[in-house]
Copies of this chain bind each other. A is one copy, B any other.
Amino acid sequence: MFQAAIMGFGTVGSGVYEVLDRNAATVTKNAKQSIEVKYILDLRDFPDAPYQEKFVKDFAVIENDPEVRIVVETMGGKGAAYEFTKRCLLAGKHVVTSNKELVACHGAELLRIAAEHNVNYLFEASVGGGIPIIRPMLQCLTANRMLHITGILNGTTNYILTRMIHAGLTFDAALKEAQQKGYAEANPAADVDGVDACRKICILSDIAYGDNIFPEEVETEGISKITLADVGYAAQADCVVKLLGRAVLQEDGTLYAFVAPHFVSKICPLASVDDVFNAILVSGDMLGDAMFYGQGAGKLATASAVVADVIDCVRHDKHRRQFDWGDGSKKLLRPLNSFASRWYVRLTGDDAAARLLAAFPDCTQLSAQAEGEAACLTAELTTAQMNEKRAALGSVAGCMRLL
Contact = CB atoms under 8 A, between A and B. Distances in A.
Interface string A131-145: 110011001111111
A26 B308 CA distance: 28
Interface string A261-301: 00000000100100000000000111111111111001011
Interface size class of A (residues with CB under 8 A): 35 or more
A104 interface: no
Interface string A84-105: 0000000000000000000000
B30 A324 contact: yes
A284 B316 CA distance: 23
A58 B322 CA distance: 37
A289 B285 contact: no
A27 interface: yes
Count of identical protomers in the assembly: 2
A311 interface: yes
A314 to B, nearest CB: 10
A143 B315 contact: no
B143 A132 contact: no
Contacts of A124: 140
A305 interface: yes
A152 interface: no
A19 interface: yes
B290 A23 contact: no
A288 B294 CA distance: 8
B315 A322 contact: yes
A70 to B, nearest CB: 14
Contact of A292 (B22, B27, B290): B290
Nearest to A283: B294
Contact of A293 (B130, B139, B269): B269
A131 B290 contact: yes
A310 B315 CA distance: 21
A303 interface: yes
B290 A293 contact: yes
Given A139-B135, A286-B300, A144 B23 contact: yes
Contact of A136 (B136, B289, B311): B136
A26 B143 CA distance: 7
A303 B288 CA distance: 12
Interface string A358-390: 000000000000000000000000000000000
A319 interface: yes
A307 interface: yes
A143 B294 contact: no
Given A132-B290, A298-B288, A312 B139 contact: yes
Nearest to A292: B292
A301 B23 CA distance: 35
Contacts of A307: 142-143, 286
A31 to B, nearest CB: 8
Given A286-B300, A293-B293, 14 more contacts: A27-B142, A27-B143, A30-B143, A131-B290, A132-B132, A135-B139, A136-B136, A141-B308, A286-B301, A287-B294, A287-B304, A289-B295, A290-B292, A292-B293
28 contacts: A19-B143, A19-B286, A23-B285, A26-B144, A30-B143, A30-B324, A130-B284, A130-B290, A131-B290, A132-B132, A132-B290, A135-B135, A136-B136, A136-B140, A140-B305, A141-B308, A142-B307, A143-B303, A143-B308, A269-B293, A284-B304, A286-B301, A286-B304, A287-B305, A288-B300, A290-B294, A292-B293, A316-B319
